[in-house]
Amino acid sequence: MMTTAPLIVVAGATGNLGARIVRALRARGASVRALVRPSASAEKLQPLEQVGAETVRVDWSDATGLAQACAGASCVVSALQGLEDVILGTQTLCGPAV
């Protein structure tokens, strides 16, 4: 019987903490979808893609786009950094899709 690795979405994957989370999850066999800013450089995406993460550019203010990017995930991990607008605002937008 073949099983599929759980899909874990990591928001803020291009930062130091986010990249570490992505590498650790991939090392444990998880499928990872890394959510990154539209302006993320190829240099920031390359290490994520090298370990096998799927990178998806998202507009953090687009609730519909974020929900689509989080669709099918078993878990959403946030490594976003910020104050109230990020912690209570942006992070909440992925919630309903999971």
24-56 pLDDT, tens per residue? Answer: 999 999 999 999 989 999 999 999 999 999 999
Phi and psi, residue 55, nearest 5°: -100, 135
Q: Considering its fold, how many domains does the chain have in total?
A: 1
- The model's confidence at residue 97, banded by pLDDT at 50, 70 and 90, is very low
Q: What are phi and psi of 90, to 5 degrees?
A: -60, -45
Q: Which residue has the higher pLDDT, 89 or 13?
A: 13
Instruction: Give the H or E element holding residue 47.
Output: helix 42-50
Domain with 93, as residue range(s), is 7-97
- Residue 2 in any domain: the answer is no
**Is residue 1 one of the residues assigned to a domain?**
no
Task: Look up the CATH number of the domain holding residue 11.
Answer: 3.40.50.720
Is there a domain that residue 52 lies in? yes
CA distance 68 to 13: 17
Residues near 42 by beta carbon (within 8 Å), at least 6 away in sequence: none
Question: Is 93 among the domain residues?
Answer: yes
pLDDT at 61: 83
Integer-rounded Cα Rg, in Å, for the chain is 13
The residue behind tokens 């890394």 is: 34
